[in-house]
Structure 1
């Protein structure tokens, strides 16, 4: 897969080895990940191939003909950030080799839902929706004549709008489902104005509709939720996924909530033969019930954390800190912190300061003190006492207010930085730079408005039906901020509407140093002052929220007077890979790491050229990185934290060696640390190791590695002729296990080991 975002999955009923996956989520948050078409597997998911529709953006649903797995339908919302013709309902009759667009409304209205009549698969229902985003607003809905429900009776070749009984002024997001127990009965959850929103039912195959419930909880935040599922065995039972999971047993007239392991519910699959067996999904992951939703399986077997940033500390092993979307902040050790393994590695986790938005950072001189942010509210947590104190820069309620009416425009994810020169000095940013020297009790403003502050970005978010103002769409705010690690008082600021500023006098004055030629309106996602050169800094900038998918990384070596663009779409990072973060290795000048929407890249020459450096990292947005103790620590949007252990070989690499080469190892720490093998629910903890890296220019007959002390005495020998280090069975307290035995055996083949 080229993208981490999955919008829909469908297994062919006639052949469960055939699976179609539509990429690109139609739950269009501001950090929605781009879809890149449809994938297909014919061997139950072991291998996949891309089968087209690369440009249709977010895919809301995929449906397969019940007896012919080559006939498949896709409901495509389209590109979320721009108008265009690649949206609507698409059909393939040859297993995805070719596609026809069979339902198209206009360049701004796509399709969200498509469903087949189980007794007559030529009868198909689809919903049309205008769902788009700008950096400053959400557009969900439009004139009713452009949205609504459509029906085809000839396998999708022709369509008729069948929305009698639905609102006639404005219609937004709609999901529709057919009751297998009574295929003449359909349910639709409908975004509309006021009390006209809610659940609608048709008992005549979609010819007419009647509202059965206007319960507000069924249709909260419709751009993000809006999912309805009919029970396959009982036509009176219907489920609605929203903030809560709702169930009706009287045909949709009344509802009650059903607890799930996590809130923010997005969809479910109900076994057509056993309605008590279901899979339900939410912002915490996926969970299975075998008793109709009374109990659910755990979500702690899915490494799917969406992390906004990453921080590290000075402990051994060092801890990794981050904020998880729609969850808590989290602190985890980078390696097992004890010699004995716990009953469950979840015991290593702890919650930190702040909330899901972050950031969170440990105090550099005392990692027992954590600072965090929750949607603009600053806090201090003392891990020794377990007490957290919240502070406001200014007491204000940002929810529900236009950006222009907020005194301090704190974004949902508002950066703060601890001065590398004085841990008591902390900066926090709205459209201004705020500074505290007493851990958040009092704040001073040390800058003017450092944003473009264009009027079109300062209105009410959410149109034309549902207002949605939770901080994500606060535009014209400072989104990236750093102080130079080499010069106290050199401060860098970047806004989410484009401008870059620098102060060289501790905030007394500021200069606009936005790179010349930088397209306006984009987000300065991250700033990296060079750890090697005064006056040098890098910025990672993206404009995909404005439908510009180009990568933008810039470098200055003169405090922003001039800039060089390090990404032209031809020097390694593709032209459609937006960049989120760039870091310079603190141990090798000019060695850069770039995190993009679709993975990780490396540059040996200060950005002149880039090469993909994915290794075994999943293809997912890289949101942040830190190079710490010669480890590369990465946060991702959807696959948790990753660590590339010991990059010291990169510090010594100049060119591919032609002769056998032994790289100098980094300093190793002697300790007894428990080892944990990576599974779906346990981290990959290698224990305390010394890494010995070497390169062979050609295959060798024999390889021997010797470890010597300062006097030249051989302490340990490793040879390719040894027996190796197999695992042997052991009996644990609770279950059998395996442990390593023997001595590692060096490889003899050409390459790096």
Structure 2
């Protein structure tokens, strides 16, 4: 009999246990088909209505201050090196490309949450061209004929996680990415495109998409007439939720130019990705004045994101397409008179390959030498050879296309950026695509390492599946299934047994290191009505054959994931569930105590904490008044005492005393805030080590304290400021592994601290850790 008990010390009332539901056979789809809902929902669970770049800028500033403090007081902690483990061969979302006009085979790319990268070998390999310590979200890159490089920060695609990491303006580099200076548009949030006037390269246009969450700010088309030193708005949006996503200059007549506007906004439980402001515009006087193009084009409000392109070989030829306000493809258009009139072409939704999310793409590219050769960015790479009368799919590349550029120095060479990374074709894009072999900007959700050998790793990635890194540092990683890759696990005693999960808990068990055959678990195997985008799947540290899986109900396996039994009722409120937003009511994290297999702690997306010390016979809810009420990102149990546990939370404090890290020393009855002193950013992972350290991973770095918190220090150097989504600590080797969302997997050796720091019980939580960190300071 399962019981849901409100512990007397915490809440006065008892809650009757609902009946355990029947076995679930399907998973929700629709609102969370893209992970921006998951990334956004947890970071806005504090009740905020925006995820502004300013919040992250403040958090990075606090992180830099903590690094400086650590260097002064605990230098060996700050100086410990993080080292890149991999992968180099997987890649991640590339949203723009700039071809160096002077240097053969040199290109620059914008990685969605991984910075700017440079290749000097035609895209075969890439090296960073952006400071590791800056925000890593990039939306656009462009280069003048004399080699001045521009980067627009913040990604205009409202999904895939990067929407939470907006940009802070336009940056310029006079030395091809070796150094940068910010030159304006700090309140633009996302730069979608640059256009440089070929007749006067001091005239640079920027398409500012604006803050997805907050109306107003710097939106529309901006012009700098002094090489980027100063900017002024030349095309204002029709309303305060519309921004510019395209700006294109006629190379034969630079006084004529075009722009695409997109009306879009994201709210906590609503996304509006179209409206009256979505439109196409033309200027015939270099951007001084603009007219909306309407002849042959729709003028109603059911317009989503527009894609727009001009044929360089015949600038009178324009192509455009638009999605609906709710997402699917709507129609494709062509103009043969410079936009005076437009005609709809017979392109179907299937040919457009936009699925239900045309707002994810919004890009068209035309062969510079052939006005009828057109590429449409979609789930597949779509190609037309008849002037957009029809399209067919080009194979050989990863899904979800975002950018193409032709190399004017090499006939037939074209570059492509998509969610899988960077590609090159020597056959004018028609075939022969070759993927980059070294692109270290993969977006990871999770990582696990083999207990038998920490050089064996698996990880779950955004839009690049589950992957296995069993070939050592820098060695190639292998795909091991999954759609989006979420939770991944390696059996503690046998690294050939691997678990991988796609979105919503569709997991598998493999006895071939992630390879086939694979036994499905989750779908049809476990009990739950709702499952999180990242459904927790965990081993019991007291018994490697015992596992836990949680949707809105905790499931337990005693035969290493082959069969499952529910051991809890619904531990969430089950809502609200807005059809346009994130479907609340799921368990986000769980942990079993290393010293007591009967004790588990559970956290939920609606801010609840639960514990049981009788293997689920009775569940106790922590008094909500003791908690911040925000998304619980991770729970962890002390390796020496089942009564000591930690919980981390997403969201921002925003001037409040809301906690990011909480500690219990009495088995879950009372909780103390021990996160004061950390940067005000979401905390995504927490690990207590056996010798008294507490490690946390945040959106702005990794930090260390003692078990009872109090004072925090930055841990390590050279870790890029991409969000650290997951930490995995290997106790025997003291290797700490960090999964970053945009810069791959990194390792660090944690300093050894004296055994005196582990004395129990903990006294005065949140106070007096200077001695512990000082002792670590002396460790080598």
Residue equivalent to 1:640:
744
2:371 aligned with 1:235: yes
Structure 1 segment 167-178 matched on structure 2, within 5 A: 167=298, 168-178=300-310
Residue equivalent to 2:500:
372
Residue equivalent to 1:631:
735
For residues 544 and 160 of structure 1, do their structure 2 counterparts lie closer, same or farther at Cα, with a shift above 3 Å needed?
A: farther
Larger relative contact order (C-alpha < 8 A, sep ≥ 6)?
A: 2
- Equivalent of 1:324 in 457, 461, 465: 461
- Equivalent of 2:195 in 57, 63, 81: 63
How far 1:359 moved relative to its partner? 1.1
- Equivalent of 2:589 in 477, 480, 485: 480
- Equivalent of 1:113 in 236, 246, 265: 246
Structure 1 segment 170-569 matched on structure 2, within 5 A: 170-192=302-324, 197-217=330-350, 218=352, 219-220=354-355, 221-272=357-408, 276-293=412-429, 294-316=431-453, 318-333=455-470, 335=472, 345-346=475-476, 349-352=477-480, 354=482, 356-375=484-503, 376-383=505-512, 387-395=516-524, 408-455=529-576, 457-459=577-579, 473-513=582-622, 516=625, 520=629, 522-543=630-651, 552-567=660-675
How far 1:170 moved relative to its partner? 0.3
Aligned counterparts of 1:385 and 1:305: Cα–Cα separation in 2: 19
Residue equivalent to 2:17:
none
- Equivalent of 2:151 in 14, 21, 28: 21
SS in 1 for 2:696: strand
How far 1:247 moved relative to its partner? 1.2
SS in 2 for 1:425: strand
For residues 505 and 644 of structure 1, do their structure 2 counterparts lie closer, same or farther at Cα, with a shift above 3 Å needed?
A: same
For residues 164 and 415 of structure 1, do their structure 2 counterparts lie closer, same or farther at Cα, with a shift above 3 Å needed?
A: farther
In the superposition, the TM-score normalised over structure 1's length comes to: 0.75
Cα deviations by residue, 1:523-578 (Å, 9 ceiling, x for unpaired): 3222222334433332332237999999833333334444333445xx351x3x33
Aligned counterparts of 1:545 and 1:84: Cα–Cα separation in 2: 24
Aligned counterparts of 1:179 and 1:352: Cα–Cα separation in 2: 41
SS in 1 for 2:435: coil
For residues 584 and 63 of structure 1, do their structure 2 counterparts lie closer, same or farther at Cα, with a shift above 3 Å needed?
A: farther
Cα deviations by residue, 1:368-420 (Å, 9 ceiling, x for unpaired): 222222332232111289543333445499xxxxxxxx962123321111111
The answer to whether the Cα contact below 8 Å between 1:549 and 1:578 also exists between their aligned partners in 2 is no
Aligned counterparts of 1:226 and 1:95: Cα–Cα separation in 2: 27
Listed as ranges, the gaps of 5+ residues in structure 1 are 337-343, 398-405, 462-472, 665-692, 694-753
- Equivalent of 2:293 in 162, 169, 176: 162
The alignment of Structure 1 onto Structure 2 pairs a total of residues equal to 624
For residues 332 and 139 of structure 1, do their structure 2 counterparts lie closer, same or farther at Cα, with a shift above 3 Å needed?
A: same
For residues 355 and 170 of structure 1, do their structure 2 counterparts lie closer, same or farther at Cα, with a shift above 3 Å needed?
A: closer
Aligned counterparts of 1:446 and 1:135: Cα–Cα separation in 2: 32
The answer to whether the Cα contact below 8 Å between 2:528 and 2:551 also exists between their aligned partners in 1 is no
Judge which range, 638-647 or 85-94, deviates more: 85-94
The answer to whether the Cα contact below 8 Å between 1:177 and 1:186 also exists between their aligned partners in 2 is yes
Aligned counterparts of 1:159 and 1:439: Cα–Cα separation in 2: 65
Give RMSD over aligned pairs. Answer: 3.5
The answer to whether the Cα contact below 8 Å between 2:274 and 2:302 also exists between their aligned partners in 1 is yes
The answer to whether the Cα contact below 8 Å between 1:515 and 1:562 also exists between their aligned partners in 2 is no
For residues 178 and 648 of structure 1, do their structure 2 counterparts lie closer, same or farther at Cα, with a shift above 3 Å needed?
A: same
Aligned counterparts of 2:771 and 2:627: Cα–Cα separation in 1: 36
For residues 500 and 67 of structure 1, do their structure 2 counterparts lie closer, same or farther at Cα, with a shift above 3 Å needed?
A: farther
Listed as ranges, the gaps of 5+ residues in structure 2 are 1-130, 758-768
Aligned counterparts of 2:227 and 2:671: Cα–Cα separation in 1: 49
How far 1:134 moved relative to its partner? 5.0
For residues 68 and 544 of structure 1, do their structure 2 counterparts lie closer, same or farther at Cα, with a shift above 3 Å needed?
A: farther
SS in 2 for 1:648: coil
For residues 227 and 534 of structure 1, do their structure 2 counterparts lie closer, same or farther at Cα, with a shift above 3 Å needed?
A: same
Aligned counterparts of 1:195 and 1:414: Cα–Cα separation in 2: 28
In the superposition, the TM-score normalised over structure 2's length comes to: 0.73
SS in 2 for 1:516: helix
For residues 530 and 52 of structure 1, do their structure 2 counterparts lie closer, same or farther at Cα, with a shift above 3 Å needed?
A: farther
Residue equivalent to 2:213:
81
Judge which range, 127-136 or 543-552, deviates more: 543-552
How far 1:242 moved relative to its partner? 1.2
The answer to whether the Cα contact below 8 Å between 1:451 and 1:499 also exists between their aligned partners in 2 is yes
Aligned counterparts of 1:137 and 1:234: Cα–Cα separation in 2: 42
The answer to whether the Cα contact below 8 Å between 1:134 and 1:545 also exists between their aligned partners in 2 is no
2:692 aligned with 1:594: no
Judge which range, 633-642 or 73-82, deviates more: 73-82
The answer to whether the Cα contact below 8 Å between 1:631 and 1:647 also exists between their aligned partners in 2 is no
The answer to whether the Cα contact below 8 Å between 1:580 and 1:623 also exists between their aligned partners in 2 is yes
Aligned counterparts of 2:187 and 2:522: Cα–Cα separation in 1: 44
Cα deviations by residue, 1:68-109 (Å, 9 ceiling, x for unpaired): 444322222222334343433333333333333332333322
The answer to whether the Cα contact below 8 Å between 1:618 and 1:639 also exists between their aligned partners in 2 is yes
For residues 183 and 172 of structure 1, do their structure 2 counterparts lie closer, same or farther at Cα, with a shift above 3 Å needed?
A: same
Residue equivalent to 2:183:
51
The answer to whether the Cα contact below 8 Å between 1:88 and 1:105 also exists between their aligned partners in 2 is no
The answer to whether the Cα contact below 8 Å between 2:728 and 2:737 also exists between their aligned partners in 1 is yes
- Equivalent of 1:581 in 671, 685, 699: 685
Judge which range, 488-497 or 378-387, deviates more: 378-387
The answer to whether the Cα contact below 8 Å between 1:393 and 1:442 also exists between their aligned partners in 2 is no
SS in 2 for 1:51: strand
2:228 aligned with 1:96: yes
Aligned counterparts of 1:549 and 1:154: Cα–Cα separation in 2: 54
2:34 aligned with 1:34: no
Cα deviations by residue, 1:452-471 (Å, 9 ceiling, x for unpaired): 3333x34255xxxxxxxxxx
Judge which range, 406-415 or 42-51, deviates more: 406-415
Aligned counterparts of 1:495 and 1:317: Cα–Cα separation in 2: 30
Whose helix proportion is higher, 1 or 2? Answer: 2
The answer to whether the Cα contact below 8 Å between 1:269 and 1:280 also exists between their aligned partners in 2 is yes
Look at both structures and tell me which one has the larger radius of gyration over its CA atoms. Answer: 1
Cα deviations by residue, 1:181-211 (Å, 9 ceiling, x for unpaired): 1222211121137997132112232233222
Aligned counterparts of 1:254 and 1:240: Cα–Cα separation in 2: 11
The answer to whether the Cα contact below 8 Å between 1:393 and 1:443 also exists between their aligned partners in 2 is no
The answer to whether the Cα contact below 8 Å between 1:414 and 1:430 also exists between their aligned partners in 2 is yes
